[in-house]
Structure 1
Amino acid sequence: MAKPVILTVDDDAEVLQAVARDLRQEYGENYRILRADSGATALEALEQIKLRNHPVALFLVDQRMPQMSGVEFLQQAITIFPDAKRALLTAYADTDAAINAINTTKIDYYLMKPWNPPEERLYPVLNDLLDDWQATFHPPFEGIRVIGNRWSPYSHQVKDFLARNQVPYEWMDIEFSKEAEQLTEYADCDKVRLPLVIFPDGEQLRQPTNLEIAQKIGLRTQAEKPFYDLAIIGSGPAGLAAAVYGASEGLRTVMIEREAPGGQAGTSSRIENYLGFPVGLSGGDLARRAVTQARRFGVEILTPQEVTGIRVANPYCFLQLADGSEISCHALILALGVAWRRLDVPGIERLTGAGVYYGAAQTEAMSCKDEDVYIIGGANSAGQAAMYFSKYASHVTMLVRGESLSLSMSQYLIDQIAETPNITVKTYTSVIEVKGENCLEAITIKNNRTGEIQTLPATSLFIFIGAAPRTEWLDGIVQRDDRGFILTGPDLQRDGQHVPGWNLERDPFLLETNIPGIFAVGDVRHGSVKRVASGVGEGAICVQFIHQYLAKVL
């Protein structure tokens, strides 16, 4: 934590220097001593201290200053740091003003000049004030602060990016926090340019992109080398497992992720059926552990970064990145995962990020406290989200198109939902419209058996209606099925014959695509089992096939 500040203000340069010297001599080890030669200068400094979120313990201010007296300064300073202790330095003639200030400005003490010797006339007084301040002091949050509006898609994007990349932050809603208003004023940021992201060093970004945030917090977005033994696109459980096993077995490995490590599984609020974790763990925790493990073995992780094209020149594969750069590799693993399928109903696009969210959106859970939350979907992800939101929301309603949860949800989750009193499951139900101007205000639902239509007030709708691959950019390179999932191994054969383009005598390995040396694992692969453990298993197994491939081409 940064040292708390003691700020002394005096227009007399000699007096100011003497005060600062005595303060530094006694308190410099535990406090940061700052000085200012006028009230105006001191107020400017306080605004910057506030933006850096550093605490102020004590103001020691001369009363008789031109332009702004000590009392006038304190009246403004306490609006910025209301908990700081306040002491006036006064001459004998200023005693009445100091006494009056005890009532008007609530100063804690006034000291007569000169204060020599400080051991008798200065330090005992300040020690008492600082002890009182320390007794009630709560250290401020030292990480990133995000100031925005709950209903802003930009704000949701920033919060989601930070959370999924395991970066702690403090959320401050401009509509409810006076401090947030204060900080935007000091940063000269109007509401139109929110969200405002304030970093610990006081630097600010307005409506930043994920890339701008990544560069500021030190995420790696550019490759260190031009060539790697193994490149992995995507960092869900399958990609992370491949990275760990590849790097641990001596392959120079780079992993490229366009959003955040963990993939769709990383957004899960609770995974309770993953082997070795009897009490379960969150997707974020799993991702954090895996990323730490991968980095320990030397995996280079680029995030946020996106591969926009692939060019094959055997035995090399060249990857074009979104920033215009290019890297090459001997072997490539496509661990692209899947994205939530979009709901196609009136009003949905306009309100996405403003009350309508795809996926668990754990970043919004605290905002839903004591509200009604609606969840669309009946598979495990929807069930995990319902259990998570039930801890915050007054009520959670699951809207399920089918006849029951048992068709697509694990039994342990069905049992938990049935035992949770503030979760209701509505079957045979679909959302047919969402309504609202600047944020979600209502949803219209339809009972598919009876045809009954209802419009219900709603502020939060979370959507889990299946997933689809984002593989259009691979068209003409890698063979896919009619839904876009990547074909591998035996699935590449048609009537006993390999797909056109396969020119090797051997059959493709189990997880190999129609391009030798390019593999696919996890949810993006045709026929894969959509479970975390199976993705991890495929990632690990794939590395063994890569060793066999490299042994023949190198």
Structure 2
Amino acid sequence: MPNPAILTVDDDPAVSRAVARDVRRKYGDRYRVIRAESGPDALDALREIKLRGEQVAVMLADYRMPHMNGIQFLEAAMDLFPLARRVLLTAYADTDAAIDAINVVDLDHYLLKPWNPPEEKLYPVVDALLDAWLSTPDVAVPETKVVGHRWSSRSFAVRDFLARNLVPYRWLLADEPEGGRLLTAAGLTETDVPVVITSDGKALARPTEADLAAHVGLSTTPALDFYDLAVVGAGPAGLGAAVYGASEGLRTVLVEQRATGGQAGQSSRIENYLGFPDGVSGAQLTERARRQALKFGAELLTTREVVGLDNCGSATLLRFGDGTAVGAHTVVLATGVSYRRLDAPGLAELAGRGVFYGSASTEAPSCRDEEIYIVGGANSAGQAAVYFSRYARKVHILIRGGDLSRSMSRYLIDQIESIDTIEVHPRTSVVAGEGDDHLERLTLCEQPSGQTRTVETSWLFVFIGAEPRTDWLGDSVARDANGFVMTGPDLITEGRRPPGWGLPRDPYLLESSMPGVFAAGDVRAGSVKRVASAVGEGAMAVTLVHRFMEAQ
């Protein structure tokens, strides 16, 4: 495999030669230095590198270029090499644009021209970026392929799992020539789909999520038998707890049943999170947090289902669905919530075949020029509507209330009102769905008249309610009538501590009825259902973890 590339882009030939010369002089023995004199030419070079299955470590792009400026180029380049480190070359007058680019294209650094002497102003920056890239390189391997049927719930589940775990793959239809050739080569037929062909050429027919995780590089087995902190659930609260716990020296394991990010990880654009004035996708925020947790030494287990908690005195035992277990001094429950199923005739049979719960971003390109329906009036539904409006001819939002103001942030309402292709239908609900191999039509009911009408559509995305993922807890910790975990003062009734509480103190603020077991984020009774508050509770839980451990 050829050495990884360092790409330089500048439309001034003299400057282009100078930066390539300086970079080649220091790094030419370990990296290939590729020079381009325009954004389009540089993108052509990147596409060729990608097709050859090679790597790009660092991209340095001039800001002021005709046809495509440096920010536009880096934004397009992210789609090809998302892990490559990005540097903007800019004059002093353009520093504001460079600062804005930190949020727009996740810029790693900007350099003021000229950078003489390079030993002081160029090389230290590139050294640091190369070190960072080497710690999480964009590994050059043949691509993973998924072969399946367009309207198959199993095929959708595989694609959704890979997408949510940020595993790149190529989607091929089984009844098209290339998909058929792959099935034949694997000795399989269309009845065996979905089939995943891994990067090393192994074919997995109808794989489980555990099979997928094991074959695409996700960790599924704990390295230790005992930890200081076990975090259950890798949404914003769980990731926050893992980052703070590991960074403070706690042996930390983060256990996730499906994929990191939770509901927030499916958000197409989060615009009210501190520090991101231009917004950030849930996947991007999740990936940063995941890398941060791993950087500090946290261990992340995927596709591991925790089915029970056992109090073992000064420790807690987490029991997994396969019969194994790990112990920990303390536990943070951060399992979040899931969307409620829409109770209407015909929809259950069409789940994954036109009816989707949450923002199924993998389906967005397939919605191009079609009409889609979204049920729900909170922020998740609004973010999905804005995102799908880029593809769909028309986006219909169905809400039970009279308007969106009760449950949606004002900034999202303003965006929706400014997009002509989004229409809000107040006091409207779905009462039935129909279709053969996929959703074909919906029956809608309008209140207060009770009048129904039928609409033709193949797409329904549901964002209603919030059911906590706590059934597995049983009676091990106290929950409220809706299943949310009760913590802190909520556990004190008429001055009495919860039954079975054996400590001479009241439960800490985020502590459950089982000593040493804390709850953070959406799963906690009374929590604020926002990403920032979930992250804050995850961090706060670690402070209480320290207090608990010091008292033991």
Shift of 1:208: 0.8
Kindly indicate whether the alpha-carbon contact (under 8 Å) linking 1:141 and 1:170 is maintained by their aligned counterparts in 2.
Answer: no
Cα distance per residue 1:219-252 (max 9 Å; x no partner): 1111110000000100100000000100111100
Shift of 1:334: 0.5
Cross-structure match for 1:367: 366
Aligned counterparts of 2:233 and 2:2: Cα–Cα separation in 1: 38
Determine whether 1:152 maps to 2:152. yes
Cross-structure match for 1:495: 494
Q: How many residue pairs get matched?
A: 419
Kindly indicate whether the alpha-carbon contact (under 8 Å) linking 2:220 and 2:303 is maintained by their aligned counterparts in 1.
Answer: yes
Cross-structure match for 2:420: 421
Cross-structure match for 2:171: 171
Moved over 3 A (4+): none
Aligned counterparts of 1:539 and 1:292: Cα–Cα separation in 2: 17
Shift of 1:2: 9.3
Cross-structure match for 1:435: 434
Aligned counterparts of 2:186 and 2:503: Cα–Cα separation in 1: 62
Equivalence map 1:215-364=2 (5 Å): 215-364=214-363
Percent identity, aligned pairs only, is: 52
Determine whether 1:380 maps to 2:379. yes
Equivalence map 1:78-227=2 (5 Å): 142-175=142-175, 177-227=176-226
Matched letter for residue 154 of structure 2:
Y
Aligned counterparts of 1:324 and 1:286: Cα–Cα separation in 2: 33
Cα distance per residue 1:306-362 (max 9 Å; x no partner): 111111111011111122211101001101101111111101111000000000010
Cα distance per residue 1:455-492 (max 9 Å; x no partner): 11110100001210121221211000000000000110
Shift of 1:184: 2.0
Equivalence map 1:462-473=2 (5 Å): 462-473=461-472
1:280 match: secondary structure = coil
Cross-structure match for 1:394: 393
Cα distance per residue 1:186-207 (max 9 Å; x no partner): 2232111111111222211111
TM-score under structure 2 length normalisation: 0.74
Matched letter for residue 377 of structure 1:
G
1:407 match: secondary structure = coil
Shift of 1:174: 3.0
Matched letter for residue 392 of structure 1:
Y
TM-score under structure 1 length normalisation: 0.74
Cross-structure match for 2:455: 456
Matched letter for residue 306 of structure 1:
E
Matched letter for residue 299 of structure 2:
E
2:297 match: secondary structure = coil
Cross-structure match for 1:405: 404
Cross-structure match for 2:445: 446
1:160 match: secondary structure = helix
Aligned counterparts of 1:512 and 1:264: Cα–Cα separation in 2: 23
Determine whether 1:504 maps to 2:506. no
Kindly indicate whether the alpha-carbon contact (under 8 Å) linking 1:390 and 1:396 is maintained by their aligned counterparts in 2.
Answer: yes
Aligned counterparts of 2:353 and 2:256: Cα–Cα separation in 1: 26
Cα distance per residue 1:143-178 (max 9 Å; x no partner): 211111121011110011001111111112234x42
Aligned counterparts of 1:367 and 1:286: Cα–Cα separation in 2: 25
1:402 match: secondary structure = coil
Kindly indicate whether the alpha-carbon contact (under 8 Å) linking 1:173 and 1:180 is maintained by their aligned counterparts in 2.
Answer: yes
Matched letter for residue 337 of structure 1:
G
Cα distance per residue 1:290-317 (max 9 Å; x no partner): 0000000000110011111111111011
**Greater displacement, 193-202 / 451-460:** 193-202
Aligned counterparts of 2:473 and 2:325: Cα–Cα separation in 1: 17
Aligned counterparts of 2:141 and 2:357: Cα–Cα separation in 1: 29
Cα distance per residue 1:422-471 (max 9 Å; x no partner): 11111100000010121101000000122110011110100001210121
Kindly indicate whether the alpha-carbon contact (under 8 Å) linking 2:142 and 2:200 is maintained by their aligned counterparts in 1.
Answer: no
Kindly indicate whether the alpha-carbon contact (under 8 Å) linking 1:234 and 1:256 is maintained by their aligned counterparts in 2.
Answer: yes
Cross-structure match for 2:536: 537
Q: CA RMSD in A?
A: 1.7
Matched letter for residue 281 of structure 1:
V
Q: Call closer, same or farther: CA 1:370–1:141 in 2, change over 3 Å.
A: farther
1:320 match: secondary structure = strand
Shift of 1:141: 9.6
Aligned counterparts of 2:534 and 2:219: Cα–Cα separation in 1: 25
1:225 match: secondary structure = coil
Cα distance per residue 1:91-149 (max 9 Å; x no partner): xxxxxxxxxxxxxxxxxxxxxxxxxxxxxxxxxxxxxxxxxxxxxxxxx9942111111
Matched letter for residue 244 of structure 2:
Y
Cα distance per residue 1:371-394 (max 9 Å; x no partner): 111100111000000001000111
Determine whether 1:520 maps to 2:519. yes
Equivalence map 1:69-80=2 (5 Å): none
Cα distance per residue 1:21-51 (max 9 Å; x no partner): xxxxxxxxxxxxxxxxxxxxxxxxxxxxxxx
Aligned counterparts of 2:2 and 2:200: Cα–Cα separation in 1: 11
Aligned counterparts of 2:246 and 2:192: Cα–Cα separation in 1: 43
Aligned counterparts of 1:281 and 1:461: Cα–Cα separation in 2: 25
Determine whether 1:476 maps to 2:467. no
Kindly indicate whether the alpha-carbon contact (under 8 Å) linking 1:256 and 1:301 is maintained by their aligned counterparts in 2.
Answer: yes
Aligned counterparts of 1:388 and 1:148: Cα–Cα separation in 2: 25
Q: Call closer, same or farther: CA 1:323–1:54 in 2, change over 3 Å.
A: farther
**Greater displacement, 320-329 / 400-409:** 320-329
Cα distance per residue 1:383-412 (max 9 Å; x no partner): 000001000111111111110011110011
Matched letter for residue 165 of structure 1:
N
Cross-structure match for 1:127: none
Aligned counterparts of 2:213 and 2:551: Cα–Cα separation in 1: 39
Aligned counterparts of 1:326 and 1:375: Cα–Cα separation in 2: 40
Aligned counterparts of 1:445 and 1:412: Cα–Cα separation in 2: 28
1:498 match: secondary structure = coil
Cross-structure match for 2:78: none
Aligned counterparts of 2:155 and 2:238: Cα–Cα separation in 1: 29
Aligned counterparts of 2:536 and 2:493: Cα–Cα separation in 1: 27
Q: Call closer, same or farther: CA 1:141–1:331 in 2, change over 3 Å.
A: closer
Structure 2: stretches of 5+ with no match in the other structure: 4-50, 54-139
Aligned counterparts of 1:452 and 1:403: Cα–Cα separation in 2: 16
Shift of 1:54: 8.2
Kindly indicate whether the alpha-carbon contact (under 8 Å) linking 2:477 and 2:485 is maintained by their aligned counterparts in 1.
Answer: yes
1:444 match: secondary structure = strand
Kindly indicate whether the alpha-carbon contact (under 8 Å) linking 2:141 and 2:199 is maintained by their aligned counterparts in 1.
Answer: no
Matched letter for residue 460 of structure 1:
W
Aligned counterparts of 1:473 and 1:379: Cα–Cα separation in 2: 27
Aligned counterparts of 2:370 and 2:177: Cα–Cα separation in 1: 23
Matched letter for residue 160 of structure 2:
D
1:405 match: secondary structure = coil
**Greater displacement, 498-507 / 389-398:** 498-507
